[in-house]
Structure 1
Amino acid sequence: MGEQFLVQPMIVVFEYLRINNEQDVKMKKLGFAMMILSACLYQADAVTVSPDGKGDYKTIQEAINAAPDFNETPFVINVRPGTYKEVVRIPKNKSFVTLLGESAEKTIITFDNTAPKIAPDGKPFGTFRSATAFIDGSNFTADKITFENSAFRTGQALAVSISGDRAVFRRCRFIGWQDTVFTAGGREYFEDCYIDGACDFIFGGATAWFERCRIHCKGGGYITAASTDQKQPFGYVFSNCMISAELGVRFDLGRPWMAYASVIFLNTVMPPEVSGAGWNNWGNVENEKTARFAEYGSKTEKGQSLDVSKRVPWSKQLTEEEARQITVDKALGGTDKWNPVSAESALQAKQAVPAAASIILRAKDVAIKGKNARLENEGANIGFWTDTDTSFECQADVQPGTYLVKLHYALDAGQAGSEIQIKAGDSVLKLVPPATGGWQDVRSASFGEIEIKKEGKVSLCVSAISKKKDFILNLAAVTLIQKK
């Protein structure tokens, strides 16, 4: 085990010898021996998991099993980069477990159980047994870890199920499709995390605060399905978050799994893919009398105030004073005054640091430079792009930083092979997009990163360096996502 010995007991040893030099030498020797033993036993609990066998354990579950029962101090599991295909269970008797990764993108816990899949007991797993990670112990912390359910479009498939109180997730990723994150109970805090899915992918009855998180919708549906108890003052609070979506996807912010569902979005960036109504009653008008859905300061991707005039009348737009009263302390504090906000997060909140920016170059918003392309499908995409003399441009306000480039496009297999160039200011990314399922099959794919060095207006341009066949591709959009 990777024990970390502490020096404080040794200081006590030498202090003991200094003040007791007139006492019996034998007693001093006995005391010295006992304190040396105490120093050796006094150690911080820390182990390392590495898939190559160079740590204390090869699997995360083995390390969790080694944690002391009902611990009162953190048991730190350093998780080295790798893909860990295992179902992880942190039972109630394993409290204060910490999973500490080096990079969420490179440290992945994944499995593919789904609700209809048959479990070892011969019965379907069902929704609540399908999770990749079950976190039932209290005071759990994860930092820079990815929790993934790789089953994706096969029904309910949880990446994580959380029932332990006082759970904290920082800089983590949660990957799934339907029911990605199940907040079963207790209090939970998510900071600078990424969560994706398509339908009800954040759901449950816990009180959970999401600070500066990115919520990405991969398919049409609903972000939240809260089942907040009537007596709970808060359910989900999304603060300074950013919502993004695959092109053409339409979705609502949430629907009530139970009658008194509570969901609040504060100062959150929302794309045009969010429906005008914003919320859904789950087919039951009675839910409109009890559901607690609210927003304050919702913004467009360009930082402008979002038009919420078409929101369902039974949702609420908070006043500035009402929004000010919604704090982490009030939502999560409880009788034990729990405050999981990190010092870094508190400083960023004080300095009003915005969430990561997303810049979208949509087909309908660009200027087509040249004659060999045209808008199609009511502006949904640019098609009939037949020559390299035609390009697409627009201006955008940006912050300096590194941006992940995603292309939203359709391309027939017989026409693949053209080289595309994406330029942002002085930075250039070149790529050769592979074929999708045909001209009507718009897909999204990441093709690398681009560096923007100056703040302010930047010219964005998409052009073709070479043309392989008759047509280059159908372009729906280009998204630049700032990396934190």
Structure 2
Amino acid sequence: MRTLTVAKQGKADFRTVQDAVDHAPSDGSIIRIAPGKYREKIHVGTPNIELIGTGKLPQDVVLSWNDSAKSAGGTGKSGSVSVDADGFAAENLTIENTWELEHERLEEGSQAVALLMSSDKAVLDRVRLLGAQDTLYANSRTCHDNLPKDGSAPAPGRTACLASRQYFHDCYIEGHVDYIFGDAKAVFDHCELHSRHHDTVMLTAQSKHFPEEDSGYYFLHCRITGQDVGDKVV
């Protein structure tokens, strides 16, 4: 697989992550990202893209943007990084949505996604996801076609469908309201879920659309931490 490099300065193939993604071959690429903060909204529509931070720590490479549901025209458009192609991978970097740090919180429209990932067979290793409401949108495209087009409730007994499979290893996920949501079939292995201070903290809102959908979240040896919560292993 072809390898591309990104750096804000110095020797590299590209200066922005989006340029590297846009120039990746149709069968995918490994994109190695030099330390720095990359202030850009990123969309990955090519399969088998792998983003690798080359710093010593995930904090050394930061992919950052600040859209919200209100500013972007919907929660599904607010992601700092949005992935709708299969086989996505990321390692040793940070993805953040800074909207709530930079704006007054609204009654409506404060959803601000850091990572919106609809990818099947996706793997994240040592990735930090930072946000507030709706930080991680662990989404699945595969079961949406089975939903009624008129918005009515799904009929019982429909054919089972397999949601997108996603694996998170040694990741740090921070937020407050529903900060892990979506209808993927996701495994969180030795991850830390860190709850930011808020009147109502809700860690997950798994969004299975109907009983036959084969989706859900599995947390294996994860830690829940937070300003108002002691450490707890689940």
TM over 0.5: yes
Question: 5 Å matches for 1:317-328?
Answer: none
Q: Indicate whether 1:54 and 2:16 are aligned.
A: no
Residue 64 of structure 2 aligns to which amino acid in structure 1? T
Q: Deviations over 1:239-272 (max 9, x none)?
A: 000000113x69xxxxxxxxxxxxxxxxxx628x
Q: Indicate whether 1:192 and 2:173 are aligned.
A: no
Q: Indicate whether 1:45 and 2:10 are aligned.
A: no
Deviation at 1:89, TM superposition (A): 0.3
- Matched residue, 1:136: 84
Partner-residue secondary structure (3-state), 1:190:
strand
Residue 221 of structure 1 aligns to which amino acid in structure 2? V
Q: Deviations over 1:282-307 (max 9, x none)?
A: xxxxxxxxxxxxxxxx4xxxxxxxxx
Residue 50 of structure 2 aligns to which amino acid in structure 1? T
Partner-residue secondary structure (3-state), 1:77:
strand
Q: Indicate whether 1:158 and 2:113 are aligned.
A: yes
- Write the distance in 2 (CA, Å) between the matches of 1:230 and 1:104: 37
- Matched residue, 1:205: 183
From 24, 33, 57, the equivalent of 1:79 is 33
- Matched residue, 2:202: 222
Q: Deviations over 1:356-411 (max 9, x none)?
A: xxxxxxxxxxxxxxxxxxxxxxxxxxxxxxxxxxxxxxxxxxxxxxxxxxxxxxxx
- Pick the structure with greater CA Rg: 1
Partner-residue secondary structure (3-state), 2:68:
coil
Deviation at 1:172, TM superposition (A): 0.3
Q: What TM-score do the two structures reach when normalised by structure 1?
A: 0.40
Determine which structure has greater relative contact order: mean sequence separation of CA pairs < 8 Å that are 6+ residues apart, divided by chain length: 2
- Write the distance in 1 (CA, Å) between the matches of 2:112 and 2:193: 18
- Write the distance in 2 (CA, Å) between the matches of 1:128 and 1:178: 13
Would you identify which runs of 4 or more consecutive aligned residues in structure 1 move more than 2 Å? none
From 1, 11, 21, the equivalent of 1:64 is 21
Q: Which has the higher helix share?
A: 1
Question: Structure 1: any 5+ residue segments left out of the alignment?
Answer: 1-43, 120-124, 251-268, 272-297, 299-484
Say how many residue pairs are matched.
Answer: 199
Q: Deviations over 1:83-107 (max 9, x none)?
A: 000000001xx11100011231110
- Write the distance in 2 (CA, Å) between the matches of 1:238 and 1:152: 27
Partner-residue secondary structure (3-state), 1:51:
coil
Question: Structure 2: any 5+ residue segments left out of the alignment?
Answer: 141-163
Q: Deviations over 1:307-331 (max 9, x none)?
A: xxxxxxxxxxxxxxxxxxxxxxxxx
For the aligned residue pairs, the C-alpha RMSD in angstroms reads: 1.7
Q: Which has the higher strand share?
A: 2
Identity of aligned residues (%): 34
